[in-house]
Structure 1
Amino acid sequence: MVNSFGFRYTNEDHHLFKLVSIGHEIRRDARYHWDGMKREGSGVIFQFTLKGTGRLRIGEEQMEMGKHQALWVQIPSDHAYWYPPDAVEPWEFIWIRFEGIRGEGLRKELIGLHSNVITLPPEALPITLLWKLYEDVNHKQIGDRFDLSLRIYEWLLALQRFLQSKEAVSQHEIPASYRKVASHIDHHYASDLSLDHLAEVAGLNKYYLCKMFPLYYHVSTMDYLRNRRIEKAAELLQNPHLSIKEIASRSGYHEVGYFGKVFHKMMGMSPSSYRENAGRHEDFLRLLE
């Protein structure tokens, strides 16, 4: 079963999102295969699995696409997805392809570190809106190109909201290895913590740690460390009896000059200026990404 719709635009409105195609399909033939470097056109594809399984390749890495998982890829890029010849159940999915207004940039911002697979419950608002758009297209109840652009933007915002709430998971849902790294940083931020050391703490390959840590904490491992250090520095700067050098050292910075540069970049002012205006700052600072 294949039920899809394609669109062509006669006006080049670069400030609008463009719906290239949308569809609902059930595939049970191994001839179903898309190569991201060979197919025509451009844009971003979001494909949500309803039943069955498919396969996805990103570069050299292959993975299974199971129920309630969505692939999220750019055209062109080094990827492929297909119906596995050894699959026992048909692969059913709904998908959308769009382009325009920094589509790939948005994909990277939403997913983080080029992750191409996300999991959503079928009742999640992004999926509900996707079905609504598909049904409206199917029944010819859509407006003009401006209306379609607005619908895609609404869907993207819903996806962004879901991902931010979904990935801000509670501590018991974060794998123990990553919680261990975050806790180690929280308690030992003043120490000389290298990425290799943190990978040892987690018991993970450092490249895998770099890839997966942001999916749970929204920042890279080293940025998480930097944030905790600057938060501590801001707290210590409210103590007039501590020198800037001592505060830098207690915060994990052995060079005062480098500490000053990092602090200014994060806070928009020097440590001395922050201290002078200490009464205007909150008692507790938490840096958020």
Structure 2
Amino acid sequence: MYKLISIGHSSVSDENYRWDGLKRGGQGIIFQYTLKGAGKLRIGNEGYTVPKGHAFIVAIPSDHEYAFDASSGEPWEFIWIRFEGVKEDWLRHDLLQPYGPVLELESDTAPIHLLWRLYTDTAENKLNDRFDLSLRIYEWLLALQRCFIEGGAPSQLDIPPPYKRVAAYIQKHLAEDLTLDQLADIAELDKYYLCKMFPLYYRVTPMDYVRNRRIEQAAELLRDPGLSITVIAALCGYSSLSYFGKVFHKMVGMSPLAFRHSEISESDDYLRFLE
């Protein structure tokens, strides 16, 4: 059963308008979609803008804060829903990890259309049955998830600089011995926080990102017959040839030697583990 806590449509221009996710009572999920103007969102140490056509989704309680962004030059108009019943694992794995906390949605998409209907019917006291209300929230959630699954990942706001630095550093130092502590120093973040937030932007943990980049580079280098597999392993950060072969086979489905002699063309993109 899903329980509706609140739903509404509002416009604010007060620069003091803000909500702290650790100070407000209760539990649940908040989804808030910007119709005009813009809001600001902080999750942990990271900041985001929530302009027109974007929504944010957060859990209560959690370390977040959202507020009116006066720099937009106009009031922040939005529609929101707060409800209970969603498991944290679903929120984290199905929405936050693949797409991040800020989602881009056109105003004529099914989730926004259904949210408006839910708001209107609630305002007109048409949803007095808790089972019917739960079903409507479930319908909206499915529409939201389906929108991203069928439409692909939405374009996201710029990735914060700490995570860009880590990704760029990894790409330039694939042959070196990269550790999580080292990457955390590059990001200037606690390593546990880095592991928590990095997948929001790159869909995998920092060390899995290292592995993916190394195997992609290995696949490219294997096209050069002048390079031995031992040299390629070293260039991709693997001091052990047998371990390199084991990881490569697990990721690609064949050994480095078999891949070298395969007919997979350079234009094939199935080795692009991350875009």
> TM-score surpassing 0.5?
yes
Structure 1 window deviating more from structure 2 (99-108 vs 20-29): it is 99-108
Say if 2:175 is the partner of 1:191: yes
Query: Contact 1:190–1:249 at 8 Å: present in 2 too?
Result: no
Query: Contact 1:25–1:93 at 8 Å: present in 2 too?
Result: yes
Structure 2: distance between partners of 1:118 and 1:254:
41
Say if 2:32 is the partner of 1:47: yes
Counterpart mapping for 1:144-183 below 5 A: 144=132, 145-159=134-148, 161=150, 164-167=153-156
Query: Contact 1:43–1:74 at 8 Å: present in 2 too?
Result: yes
Count of equivalent residues: 258
Say if 2:275 is the partner of 1:275: no
Structure 1: distance between partners of 2:243 and 2:188:
26
Structure 1: distance between partners of 2:247 and 2:213:
12
Query: Contact 1:110–1:160 at 8 Å: present in 2 too?
Result: no
Q: What's 1:34 paired with?
A: 19
**Counterpart code for 1:74:** A
- Quote the offset at 1:64 in angstroms: 5.2
- Quote the offset at 1:72 in angstroms: 1.9
Structure 1: distance between partners of 2:173 and 2:44:
35
Is the alpha carbon distance of 1:34 and 1:241 closer, same or farther for their aligned partners in structure 2, counting shifts above 3 Å? closer
Q: What's 1:4 paired with?
A: none
Structure 2 spans left out of the alignment, 5+ residues: none
Say if 2:48 is the partner of 1:67: no
Secondary structure of residue in 2 paired with 1:40: coil
- Quote the offset at 1:241 in angstroms: 11
- Quote the offset at 1:193 in angstroms: 7.6
**Counterpart code for 1:91:** W
Q: What's 1:259 paired with?
A: 244
Structure 1 window deviating more from structure 2 (220-229 vs 152-161): it is 220-229
Structure 1: distance between partners of 2:226 and 2:66:
62
Structure 1: distance between partners of 2:170 and 2:42:
34
Structure 2: distance between partners of 1:229 and 1:61:
28
Structure 1 window deviating more from structure 2 (259-268 vs 73-82): it is 259-268
**Counterpart code for 2:145:** L
Structure 2: distance between partners of 1:99 and 1:159:
22
- Quote the offset at 1:262 in angstroms: 2.7
**Counterpart code for 1:164:** A
Q: What's 1:229 paired with?
A: 214
Q: What's 2:113 paired with?
A: 128
Structure 1 window deviating more from structure 2 (100-109 vs 69-78): it is 100-109
Give aligned-pair identity as a percent: 42
Is the alpha carbon distance of 1:33 and 1:174 closer, same or farther for their aligned partners in structure 2, counting shifts above 3 Å? closer
Query: Contact 1:36–1:80 at 8 Å: present in 2 too?
Result: yes
- Quote the offset at 1:77 in angstroms: 0.7
Query: Contact 2:218–2:236 at 8 Å: present in 1 too?
Result: yes
**Counterpart code for 1:93:** F
Secondary structure of residue in 2 paired with 1:254: coil
Query: Contact 1:110–1:163 at 8 Å: present in 2 too?
Result: no
Structure 2: distance between partners of 1:96 and 1:215:
23
- Quote the offset at 1:76 in angstroms: 0.4
- Quote the offset at 1:259 in angstroms: 1.7
Secondary structure of residue in 1 paired with 2:153: helix
Structure 1 window deviating more from structure 2 (99-108 vs 83-92): it is 83-92
Structure 1 length as normaliser, TM-score? Answer: 0.61
Query: Contact 2:28–2:86 at 8 Å: present in 1 too?
Result: no
**Counterpart code for 1:154:** A
Structure 2: distance between partners of 1:86 and 1:240:
57
- Quote the offset at 1:97 in angstroms: 2.0
Is the alpha carbon distance of 1:135 and 1:282 closer, same or farther for their aligned partners in structure 2, counting shifts above 3 Å? farther
- Quote the offset at 1:94 in angstroms: 0.5
Is the alpha carbon distance of 1:77 and 1:263 closer, same or farther for their aligned partners in structure 2, counting shifts above 3 Å? same
**Counterpart code for 2:215:** I
